[in-house]
Amino acid sequence: MSDNADLAALIRNIPDYPKPGIMFHDVSSLLLDASGYRTTIDRLAALVDPDTALVAGIEARGFIVASGIAYALGLGQLMLRKPGKLPGEKIGIDYTLEYGTDRIEMHVGHVKPDQKVLLVDDLIATGGTALAGVDLIRRGGGKVEQALFIVDLPNLGGAEKLRGQNIRVDALIGFDGD
């Protein structure tokens, strides 16, 4: 992680959300700032491996980040969706979150065999959602070797879990604590 203090200053911190003792780092305030949003996308796009074929965004804020990166680099975007959002044939994976369980899905055939897919989300905490995304893309035939985030909460260990899966992880901003 480089400094990126200019972008960190645009992120609103909300104490005790969604439960007491949690500091919620709300990137929506960064996205509201046109210059900050453009700078975020430009800095993330500069980190993308050159042989990347698709950018996978995790619903919902991950779509916003993935769309910007895909557009900037002239790549397609793969959407990893919550249940009930995709028509047609799909595969899915259930996973554990900090506060419960969830599921993400993607269309069958949207990833070509051995296609290199970049995983993107707004924030990585414990890594449950990101690891589920990696597993889903791999089950669909793709390769995930890199993941990008605006924010990393390193004390929660999610980025390290991804690195344990041989994935290069980059984030623009790190916040200590949770």
CA distance 101 to 129: 10
Q: Are 137 and 146 in contact (CB under 8 A)?
A: no
Residue 118 CA to residue 66 CA, distance in Å, equals: 9
Residue tagged 């589920």 (tokens): 132
Active site residue 160: no
Active-site option among 12, 43, 81, 98? 98
Decide: helix, strand or coil at residue 167.
coil
Name the catalytic one among 12, 43, 59, 61. 61
Helices (H) and strands (E) in the chain, counts: 6, 9
Q: Is 98 a catalytic residue?
A: yes
Alpha carbon distance 127, 139 (integer Å): 18
Measure the CA angle with vertex 159, ends 18 and 6; round to 5°: 70
The residues that are catalytic are 61, 98
